Amino acid sequence: MGLPLTSAPIAFFLALQEGVAFAAAAAVGILAGTLSQAAFSLVYAGLAPRGGWVACVVAGSGAFALSTVILDSLSLRLTLLGPGVTAALGLAVGLLRPEGKPPPRAPMAPVRRGTYRPAWARPPEWCSS
């Protein structure tokens, strides 16, 4: 889960093509979508230790949909939504990390010349080669 950094160029081009008011409305939707992503992550992570992946995906998707419906029914302002999303993401990250435990480390895979990189980095490198 993260901020919609890839959406900024889209909002920029929307502002150029459709106008600033349209881009501002799109930005509200983008940030509200981030809150829905946080809801999905929290529900999925909460069920993961007890349930299978199918139950986690279904419940997380339900939380995403419910959050989206609720947020869509509200009249949200961009000036309040930005700080609200930042606070909600901070809270979600705090809830996802167990107390007193450091963040998990990705397994490292050897690379040429004695350096190391995370094992998850290999498949994207294979695809881009």
pTM score above 0.75:
no
pLDDT at 2: 46
What is the predicted pLDDT for the residue at 1? Answer: 43
* Model confidence pLDDT, tens digit, residues 28-64: 888 888 889 989 989 998 888 888 889 999 999 999 9
Please state the φ and ψ torsions of residue 118, each to the nearest 5 degrees.
-65, 145
DSSP string, 76-123: --HHHHHHHHHHHHHHHHHHHSPTT-PPPPPPEEE-GGG-EEEGGGHH
Q: Would you give the distance in Å from CA 14 to the centre of its chain?
A: 22
pLDDT of residue 16: 92
What's the rounded mean pLDDT across residues 97-124?
62
Determine the Cα–Cα distance for residues 2 and 49; give it in Å rounded to an integer. Answer: 22
